[in-house]
């Protein structure tokens, strides 16, 4: 079996997991707020990371040397994930996923500020094309701008910051260490934020399976994506990842009667093209 096919199979797993997390997140949003969703998702994640780490013999890799950097990364991820869970509950799923694809564009723009990486002409061109795609997806005018659209666009910025600080962490920390502090710290953040109003809702019997799905799907999606990128280059993996958009659009139509908006696909195609241009030209350079 070729490397490309194996990577494609891992990406299919990631697409299924991301889609499942979106459906589960919308299902539990009826009775849980985003902070409560993050709390229970993180508890599920802690259990999963500890079990997998114990089975793989990697728990000894968890260390405390870079707690400040872990905290910074996880604050950004916590903010982005909360915005994402809010957005999927209030606007069409295809819009959320299309705007989420701008994360690499924000990485291009923010990396020079944080990682002191050089901003190339291709990077600037990619960012400009991606921004045009965002304008087509969001169609910003007083009648279209909504809190959900702002949240979906904002989550991409926070996910970009998460990716940048993850890159810094991977220079010295293992995946087990990063995932352990991700789940533990976000459980703490979720507990604090969910308890600010003096009441933390517990999942009902009907919602509990969806909460478990969110926890497992989130970890599974990122694991599958990481495995795919370890097998094949991003220039091959990324076009497969784009299948997430038509997949979630069909799911939104079948489950929630959301109309398929062709302009969302046009804008998303521009965003994809911008990301793909940057990846392929970076490889050439």
Query: What local confidence, expressed as pLDDT, does residue 251 receive?
Result: 93
Longest dimension (CA), the chain: 55
Angle at 81 between CA 26 and CA 196, to 5 degrees: 90
Cα separations (Å) of 80 from 86, 119, 186, 187, 260?
Answer: 10, 24, 12, 15, 25
**pTM for the structure as a whole:** 0.88
Query: What local confidence, expressed as pLDDT, does residue 283 receive?
Result: 54
Cα separations (Å) of 121 from 109, 126, 186, 209, 255?
Answer: 12, 9, 37, 48, 43
Dist. CA 40–CA 85, nearest whole Å: 13
Query: What local confidence, expressed as pLDDT, does residue 170 receive?
Result: 82
In angstroms, how far is the first alpha carbon of the chain from the final one? Answer: 30
Structural domain that includes position 51: 3-284
Q: What is the pLDDT along the chain (285 residues), one digit of tens a residue?
A: 678 788 889 989 999 999 999 999 999 999 999 999 999 999 999 999 999 999 999 999 999 889 999 999 999 999 999 999 999 999 999 999 988 888 888 888 888 888 777 777 888 888 888 888 888 887 766 666 789 999 999 999 999 898 888 888 888 888 889 989 999 999 999 999 999 888 899 999 999 999 999 988 988 887 888 788 778 776 677 778 888 888 999 999 999 999 888 888 888 888 888 878 877 775 554
What is the tally of structural domains in the chain? 1
């Amino acid at each position: 079996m070729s490397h490309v096919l194996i990577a494609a199979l891992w990406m299919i797993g990631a697409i299924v997991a991301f889609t499942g997390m979106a459906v589960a997140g919308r299902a539990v949003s009826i009775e849980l707020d985003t902070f409560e969703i993050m709390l229970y998702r993180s508890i599920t994640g802690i259990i999963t990371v500890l079990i997998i780490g114990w089975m793989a013999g990697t728990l000894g890799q968890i260390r405390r040397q870079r707690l400040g950097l872990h905290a910074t990364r996880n604050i950004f991820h916590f903010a982005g994930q909360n915005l994402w869970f809010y957005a999927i509950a209030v606007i069409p799923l295809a819009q959320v996923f299309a705007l989420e694809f701008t994360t690499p564009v924000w990485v291009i723009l923010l990396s020079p500020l944080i990682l002191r990486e050089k901003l190339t002409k291709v990077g600037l061109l990619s960012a400009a094309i991606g921004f045009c795609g965002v304008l087509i997806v969001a169609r910003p005018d007083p009648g279209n701008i909504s809190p959900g659209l702002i949240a979906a666009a904002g989550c991409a910025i926070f996910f970009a910051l998460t990716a940048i600080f993850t890159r810094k962490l991977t220079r010295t920390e293992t995946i087990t260490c990063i995932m352990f502090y991700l789940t533990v710290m976000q459980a703490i953040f979720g507990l604090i934020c969910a308890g600010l109003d003096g009441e933390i809702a517990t999942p009902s019997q009907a919602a509990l399976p969806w909460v478990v799905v969110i926890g497992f799907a989130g970890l599974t999606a990122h694991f599958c994506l990481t495995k795919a990128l370890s097998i094949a280059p991003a220039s091959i993996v990324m076009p497969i990842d784009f299948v997430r958009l038509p997949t979630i659009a069909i799911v939104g139509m079948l489950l929630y009667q959301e109309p398929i908006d062709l302009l969302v696909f046009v804008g998303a195609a521009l965003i994809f093209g911008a990301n793909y241009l940057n990846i392929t030209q970076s490889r050439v350079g």
